[in-house]
Amino acid sequence: MATDANTTQLDGFVFPAWVNKMVLLGLASAGLIGGYVATVGFFATHPKVINVGHMPEQPVPFSHALHAGKLKLDCRYCHNTVDKAAHAAIPPTATCGNCHGGKDRVKEGATLAAVHLKSEKLTKVRESLESGEPVEWLRVHELPGFVYFNHSAHVTRGVSCVECHGRIDKMEVVYQAKQLSMKWCLDCHRNPDESLRPVDQVTNLGWDPQGEELKKVYDEELEKAFGHLGRSVVGDSNDLRLFYYDGKAGASKAGEFAVNPLVNKQNLQHVFAEKIFGEDPKLADGDGSGDISLAEALLYLKDCRSSPTRKDLGVLLKNAYKIKPKQNCSTCHR
């Protein structure tokens, strides 16, 4: 229907008026729906949502709350290879048999009473002890096949079970408490200070000293790491008579410390900074001058020791035992 040459009137198709409102409405709803899908998608695929909360029903209803919580059994009684190998091995049925052996066990004259002989919850344990076939537990914490996590590397350096497994001593049925995603692990590898604790407290899941108690722990660790340095800090910054003494050279008088031959005044500050503050000496750089004067070091040490935080304890442990969590890919992937 070619229109004739000269009259070019606009009789072509023109959208009805309501189309304008419709387009605005459409854009707005598209935005909303899009936003909704994005947020649900983000949270739905968030590792915390996907990983946390896996609680399979085990063949034997073993309660950590009872054994580790109430009875205060140490984790390493059952998971005895946690500080020796990559896997914190699930105990053999024989370990359960020590108490639930089902037979009165005579050991060095002490009759070991068989606990819950008849409980039908333990039928599988007894069957396993008879038949030698293992109890088929269900895996709770599952890392992908290409990730090589090593328990002993963490447990022997002061990372407690609670950091990754949560308060498992309060769980009736074990569930995965933390997301254990790569970002989650890297966050801790990048600043491990809050997660470090003295090695002997690793299986004490409830260990969370505050205030005075934390101060006592801090001093103990300071002493263990750097000898008597911490006990008596005297003098002010210029005629300082505090010297670094690592316990070998004999102390001349009580309260007086002999100079450690290796350390002269100039690099005492360096030794101090390097020993205590590790990579980020800026913690003690009060006046922002960039370098830490001895006074600032002492000042920092004082308030550290006066009201230490878990982070300070972490920095101290990191330096005392040369804990340098690696961030190379081959640490976990190979």
Partner 1 sequence: MATLADQLNDNTIEDPGTRAPLVLGGLDYQGITDTVADVAYGPAPPKAWFIVLGVSALLMGILFGCVGHLIMTGVGVWGNNNPVFWGWPIVNFVFWVGIGHAGTLISAILFLLRQNWRTSINRAAEAMTIFAVVCAGLFPGVHIGRVWSFYWLFPIPTEHLAMWPNFRSPLLWDVFAVSTYATVSLLFWYMGMVPDIATFRDRAKNKIQRVAYSVLALGWTGSARHWHRYEMAYVILAALATPLVLSVHTIVSFDFAVSQVPGWHTTIFPPYFVAGAIFSGFAMVVTLMVPARELFGLKNLITDRHLENMNKIIMATGLMVGCAYGIEFFIAWYGGNPYEQFAFINRAFGPYYWAYWTMVSCNVLVPQLFWFKFFRTNAFAMVGVCIFVNIGMWFERFVITVTSLSRDFLPSSWAYFTPTPIDIMMLIGSFGLFFTLFTLFCRFLPMVAMSEVKGIVASEHHAHDESEEAAAH
Partner 2 sequence: MSTAESKQVIFRSLDDLEETPEFRQFVAREFPEGVENPPDGVTRRRWIQLMGASAVLAGVSGCRFENKKITPYAFRPEDRVPGDTREFATTIEWAGAVRPMYVTSYDSRPIKVDGNPLHEESGGSVPRGRQAQAVASKGTSDLVSQASVLDLYDPDRSRGCLEKVGREFESRTWADFAAAVGSLDLAASGGEGFVVLSEPTTSKAVSALKDRFAAKYPKARWFDYSPVNSDNEAAGLKAAFGKSVLPQFDLSSSEVVVCLDADPLGFHASSLKNSKGWAASRVPYSARVAHRPIGRYYSIESQFTITGMNADHRWPMKSSVIGSFAESLRLQVEKVREAGNPIDPVGSAEEQRVAILANELVYGINDITPSSSGKCVVMVGANQPAEVHQVAAVINELIGSKLVSYVSVPESASNLGSIGEAVEVLDSGVVENLLLIGGNPLYDAPAELGFGSVLAKAKNKIHFSMAANETTYQCDWHANMAHPFEVWTDSVAYDGSHCVGQPMIDPLFDSKSTVELLAMLVGESKTGMELVRGAFGDLAETDWFEAVHDGFVKGSASGATAVSQPVVPAGLDAAAWMAEDDSIEVVFTPSRLHDGRLANNAWIQEVPDSVTKVTWDNPAVVNPKTAKALGAKQNEKIKIEVDGRTVEAAVFIQPGQAENSIGIAIGYGRKKVGHIGGSIEKGIDPVGVDVGPLRTSEGWGMRNGVKATGTGSRYRLASTQDHHAIDPTGKAEIGSRWSRLIYEGTWESYEEFADTIIGGESKSEGAKSYSELKPDEEEKREHWPGHHHLHFENVDPIPREWKYSDEFKWGMSIDLNKCTGCNACVVACQAENNIGVVGKDEVARGRELHWIRIDRYMAANETYHNAGKILDDPEPRIRTQPVACHHCENAPCEQVCPVAATVHSDEGLNDMVYNRCIGTRYCGNNCPYKVRRFNYLNYSDAVTFVKYPWADKLSQDDISVKKLVNNPEVSIRSRGVMEKCSYCVQRIQNGKIKAKASGVPLGGDDITTACQDCCPTQAISFGNLGDKNSQVSKNHQDVRSYVLLEELNIGQRTKYMARVINPNMQWPVYVLGEDGEPTFLRYDQVFKEPSHHGAHGSHDGSGDHSEDGDHSKDGDHPKDGDDHSGDDHSKDGGEKHEKEELK
- Does 175 sit near partner 2 (CB under 8 A)? no
Structure tokens at 151: 């328990």
Q: Which of 47, 59, 166, 209 binds partner 1 (CB under 8 A)?
A: 47
The β-bridge partners of 110 are 107
Which range of residues in 63-71, 84-92, 165-173, 231-239 is near partner 2 by CB under 8 A?
Answer: 84-92
Residue window 198-237: x/- pattern of binding to partner 1, with contact defined by CB under 8 A: ----------------------------------------
d(CA 42, CA 56): 25
Q: Which of 5, 110, 113, 254 binds partner 1 (CB under 8 A)?
A: 5
Kindly determine how many residues on this chain lie close enough to bind partner 1 according to the rule CB under 8 A: 19
Which of the listed partners (partner 2, partner 1, none) does 5 bind, with a CB threshold of 5 to 8 Å by partner kind? Answer: partner 1
Give burial (CB, 10 Å; 0-12/13-18/19+) of 158. buried
Give burial (CB, 10 Å; 0-12/13-18/19+) of 99. middle
Which range of residues in 28-36, 62-70, 143-151, 303-311 is near partner 2 by CB under 8 A?
Answer: 143-151
d(CA 23, CA 278): 61
Q: Which of 13, 15, 18, 146 binds partner 2 (CB under 8 A)?
A: 146
Q: What angle do CA 164, 165, 169 make, to 5 degrees?
A: 145
Other CB atoms closer than 10 Å to residue 279's CB: what's the count? 10
- Cβ contacts of 207 within 8 Å, gap of 6 or more: 160, 197, 201
Which range of residues in 151-159, 214-222, 286-294, 295-303 is near partner 2 by CB under 8 A?
Answer: 151-159
Structure tokens at 203: 């299986």
Q: Which of 58, 98, 181, 191 binds partner 1 (CB under 8 A)?
A: 181
Which range of residues in 63-71, 123-131, 158-166, 217-225 is near partner 2 by CB under 8 A?
Answer: 123-131
- Does 18 sit near partner 1 (CB under 8 A)? no
List b or e across 241-259, with b for residues whose CB sees 16 or more CB atoms inside 10 angstroms: ebebbeeeeeeeeeeebee
d(CA 176, CA 55): 7
Q: Which candidate, 147, 223, 239, places its Cα nearest to that of 184?
A: 147
- Does 89 sit near partner 2 (CB under 8 A)? yes
Q: Which of 21, 72, 107, 183 binds partner 1 (CB under 8 A)?
A: 183
Q: Which residues bind partner 2 (CB under 8 A)?
A: 40, 43-44, 49-50, 54, 56, 81, 83-87, 89-94, 128-129, 131-139, 142, 144-146, 148, 150, 152-153, 156-157, 324, 326, 328-331, 333-334
Q: Which residues bind partner 1 (CB under 8 A)?
A: 1-2, 5, 10-15, 42, 45-48, 181-183, 186-187
